[in-house]
């Protein structure tokens, strides 16, 4: 049997799949064919740029340019969106019977940014993504400062998120300020293991379909109002009684570990800045220790 990829005459088209939402269950699919291909929507004007496959770790982005539609408009409107993963595949098919087709996976990665009016062309959205190899430039090790390095609900923390998070509904969105629906006692009067709950939700986050928005300000004095770090999307408003996950936070201090979370034994802050002298052979006055 002859492979179509080895023939001078063949048909080639690209399939683009974007997954997002809880469990990546929401899927948008596009193809540059002149006709729909199964669930892939015909988008002949789609443009695809694939980075070179090299052995180094530079941040080489893939780019897909699509027309503005319900999905791409939401993805590129500048508001928080759930993590989105992209797969780009090329299908090669023969023009005569008996020629075996070939499927080539050209790129897999995570969408880093999306913006409208690409190259000043109206109603065009550019989606740029990085492969896993290009996202490895992260700091390793533990920070040495007075804040808790264990991070609340992290693997070194003694706390479990599911024990303390709650679900609720947003009734009003006013910029970055939101008001929750019918007061939920578990949210408006939360139970803190250490007893102090006056700023229980601060530095936590709200979550829906995998998208998170940090909580900047919350106080027990006005418990139905949250000031967030970003404006929520419109579809978070009145989305259902349990549509939004409310996750509490911590200011990372030893006081929070004691008074709010009763979790001092897992506190991983160093408490003091690194001295500006060598503690083994020097003293604060500038002299030297005898060795």
Question: pLDDT by residue (tens digit) across 163-180?
Answer: 999 999 999 999 999 999
State how far Cα 145 lies from the chain centre: 26
List every span in the chain annotated with CATH 2.40.10.
Answer: 8-135
**72-115 pLDDT tens trace:** 999 999 999 999 999 999 988 766 666 666 788 999 999 999 99
Of 9-13, 134-138, 168-172, the poorest mean pLDDT is in: 9-13
**CATH level 3 topology of 8-135:** Thrombin, subunit H (2.40.10)
- Give the model's pLDDT for residue 257: 93
pTM of the model: 0.82
With pLDDT > 70 as the criterion, what percentage of the chain qualifies? 89
pLDDT band at 273 (very low <50, low <70, confident <90, very high): low
Confidence category of residue 1, pLDDT binned at 50, 70, 90: low
């Amino acid at each position: 049997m002859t492979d179509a990829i080895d023939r001078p005459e063949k048909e080639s088209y690209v399939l683009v799949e974007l997954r997002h939402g809880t469990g990546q269950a929401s899927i948008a699919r596009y193809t540059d064919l002149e006709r729909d291909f199964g669930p892939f929507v015909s988008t002949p004007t789609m443009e695809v740029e694939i980075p070179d496959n090299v052995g180094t770790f530079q941040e080489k982005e893939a780019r897909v340019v699509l027309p503005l539609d319900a999905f791409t408009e939401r993805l590129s409107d500048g508001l928080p969106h759930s993590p989105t993963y992209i797969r780009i595949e090329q299908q090669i098919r023969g023009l005569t019977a008996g020629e075996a087709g070939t499927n080539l996976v050209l790129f897999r990665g995570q969408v880093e940014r999306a913006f409208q009016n690409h190259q000043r062309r109206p109603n065009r959205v550019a989606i740029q993504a990085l492969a896993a190899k290009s996202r490895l430039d992260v700091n390793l090790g533990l920070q040495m400062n007075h804040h808790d390095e264990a991070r609340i609900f992290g693997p070194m923390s003694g706390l479990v998120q599911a024990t303390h998070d709650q679900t609720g509904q947003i009734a009003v969105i006013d910029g970055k300020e939101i008001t929750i629906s019918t007061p939920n006692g578990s949210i408006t009067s939360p139970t803190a293991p250490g007893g102090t709950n006056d700023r229980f939700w601060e530095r936590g986050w709200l979550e829906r379909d995998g998208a998170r928005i940090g909580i900047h300000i919350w106080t027990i004095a006005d418990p139905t109002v949250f000031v967030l770090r970003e404006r929520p999307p419109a579809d978070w408003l009145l989305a259902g009684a349990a549509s939004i996950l409310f996750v509490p936070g911590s200011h990372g201090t030893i006081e929070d570990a004691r008074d709010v979370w009763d979790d001092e034994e897992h506190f991983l802050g160093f408490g003091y800045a690194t001295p500006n002298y060598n503690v083994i052979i020097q003293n604060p006055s500038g002299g030297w220790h005898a060795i």
